[in-house]
């Protein structure tokens, strides 16, 4: 009988200790252990440390207590605004439920290293904008919000304004040494300009040679005292080049004959002249003379002149 009593007392003591540990877990970090009967949400915020030097990290913690009978524990979401501070990592979130009390804790590690974080004086105060807690009810559709504020955060400068003003800098941005160049920029620009003009002139000469290869030949043949027709002069050049070794010149001369024949309406003879001009085998003097005789017969008949 005595053993049963001892075991019962020990069990009750263990339950009491467990309940006490649970309550201690809820009240740590400044969290409230109970809700006002008329409240469904209670929000407690804290900063650690409450004063820091520029560049140091700050731990921001928010504890949200809810009534899980009315509010879904998994729907509780914190929407903070730490500007100009930034969170180093995603928040650490803890969700717990103890009977009729639910608890959600958000923990952020903040740091501020950009413009707007330093203080104008030796000591300043940062006031974070208000945040919101969003949640959903168990029995009602839609979401609800609760606003909350953060404690003030004191920020101290690592360097006083007087210390910066008394620094003797080794260089002055207003008296920098002029830039130096291995090559004079003006001279290099002039050389490149002359080279570009030379390339442009060379390109124009090459294009003129490719697109108007017979213009010089036409100028040589254009003699005002020569009463021969253009076709006769073209045949003279073709007969003269037929006996030479300059194959490109021979082809150009026959191509000119073909153009003159086409201009007079004899496209059949023009086709024969062009075939002789660009045949794989070089044309012979006999072939050119044969074509000239045929053109002369046609001319005598009145077909060309």
Q: Convert the pLDDT of each residue in 144-160 to its tens digit.
A: 999 999 999 888 777 76
CA dist 106 and 96 (Å) reads 12
Q: Convert the pLDDT of each residue in 243-290 to its tens digit.
A: 777 788 888 888 888 888 888 888 888 888 888 878 887 878 888 888
| Threshold 0.75, pTM exceeds | no
Flag whether pLDDT at 305 surpasses 70.
no
**Encoding tokens for residue 197?**
């003009």
Report, as an integer, the average pLDDT of 101-109.
96
Would you say 242 and 291 are in contact if contact means Cβ atoms under 8 Å apart?
Answer: no
**Encoding tokens for residue 265?**
């309406």
Average pLDDT, whole number, for the chain? 77
Determine the pLDDT at residue 14. 61
Confidence of residue 122 (pLDDT cuts 50, 70, 90): very low
- Residue 124 Cα distances to 51, 52, 121, 303, angstroms: 10, 10, 6, 108
Determine the pLDDT at residue 172. 64
DSSP string across 116-182: TSS-SSSEEEE-PPPEEEEEEBSSS-SEEEEEE-PPPEEEE-SS-HHHHHT---S--GGGPPPP--S
Q: 45-54, 224-233, 255-264: which has the minimum mean pLDDT?
A: 224-233
Determine the pLDDT at residue 118. 62
Check residue 29 and give left, alpha or beta (phi > 0: left; psi -120 to 50: alpha).
left
Nearest to 44 by CA among 104, 100, 96, 128: 104
Q: 3-7, 118-122, 253-257, 273-277: which has the minimum mean pLDDT?
A: 118-122
Confidence of residue 37 (pLDDT cuts 50, 70, 90): very low
Would you say 47 and 153 are in contact if contact means Cβ atoms under 8 Å apart?
Answer: yes
Q: 77-91, 191-205, 262-276: which has the minimum mean pLDDT?
A: 262-276
Decide which of 124 and 93 is more confident. 93
Determine the pLDDT at residue 297. 39
Tell me the percentage of the chain whose pLDDT exceeds 70: 71
Q: 68-72, 105-109, 286-290: which has the minimum mean pLDDT?
A: 286-290
φ/ψ of 19, rounded to 5, equals -65, -40
Helix (H) / strand (E) containing 100: none
Nearest to 57 by CA among 117, 13, 97: 117
Q: Quick one: 219 exposed, middle or buried, by C-beta within 10 A (0-12, 13-18, 19+)?
A: exposed
Determine the pLDDT at residue 299. 39
Confidence of residue 127 (pLDDT cuts 50, 70, 90): confident
φ/ψ of 164, rounded to 5, equals -65, -40
CA dist 274 and 212 (Å) reads 17
CA dist 65 and 39 (Å) reads 10
Determine the pLDDT at residue 146. 93
Report, as an integer, the average pLDDT of 42-65.
92
Q: Convert the pLDDT of each residue in 215-227 to its tens digit.
A: 445 555 455 455 6
- Residue 286 Cα distances to 119, 194, 245, angstroms: 103, 52, 15
Would you say 254 and 276 are in contact if contact means Cβ atoms under 8 Å apart?
Answer: yes
Determine the pLDDT at residue 187. 86
CA dist 191 and 169 (Å) reads 42
Q: Is 290 in a helix, a strand, or coil?
A: helix
Report, as an integer, the average pLDDT of 84-89.
90
Decide which of 124 and 197 is more confident. 197
Q: Is 227 in a helix, a strand, or coil?
A: coil
Report, as an integer, the average pLDDT of 117-127.
63
């Amino acid at each position: 009988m005595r053993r049963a009593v001892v075991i019962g007392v020990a069990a009750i003591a263990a339950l009491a200790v467990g309940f006490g540990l649970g309550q201690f877990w809820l009240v740590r970090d400044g969290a409230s252990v109970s809700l006002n009967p008329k409240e469904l949400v209670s929000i407690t915020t804290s900063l650690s440390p409450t004063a820091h030097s520029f560049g140091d990290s700050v731990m921001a913690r928010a504890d949200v207590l809810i009534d899980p009978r009315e509010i879904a524990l998994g729907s509780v979401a914190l929407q903070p605004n730490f500007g100009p501070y930034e969170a180093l990592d995603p928040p650490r979130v803890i969700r717990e439920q103890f009977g009729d009390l639910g608890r959600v804790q958000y923990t952020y590690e903040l740091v501020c290293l950009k413009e707007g974080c330093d203080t104008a004086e030796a000591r300043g105060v940062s006031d974070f904008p208000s945040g919101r807690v969003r949640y959903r009810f168990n029995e009602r559709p839609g979401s609800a919000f609760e606003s909350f504020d953060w404690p003030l955060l004191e920020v101290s400068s690592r360097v006083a304004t007087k210390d910066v003003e008394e620094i003797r800098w080794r260089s002055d941005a207003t008296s920098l040494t002029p830039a130096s160049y291995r090559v004079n920029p003006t001279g290099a620009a002039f050389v490149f300009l002359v080279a570009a003009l030379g390339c442009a002139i060379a390109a124009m000469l090459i294009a003129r040679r490719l697109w108007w290869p017979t213009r010089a030949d036409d100028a040589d043949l254009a003699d005002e005292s020569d009463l021969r027709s253009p076709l006769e002069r073209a045949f003279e050049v073709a007969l003269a080049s037929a006996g030479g070794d300059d194959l490109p010149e021979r082809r150009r001369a026959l191509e000119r004959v073909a153009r003159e024949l086409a201009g007079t309406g004899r496209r059949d003879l023009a086709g024969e002249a062009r075939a002789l001009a660009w045949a794989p085998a070089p044309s012979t003097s006999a072939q050119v003379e044969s074509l000239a005789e045929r053109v002369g017969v046609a001319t005598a008949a009145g077909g060309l002149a």
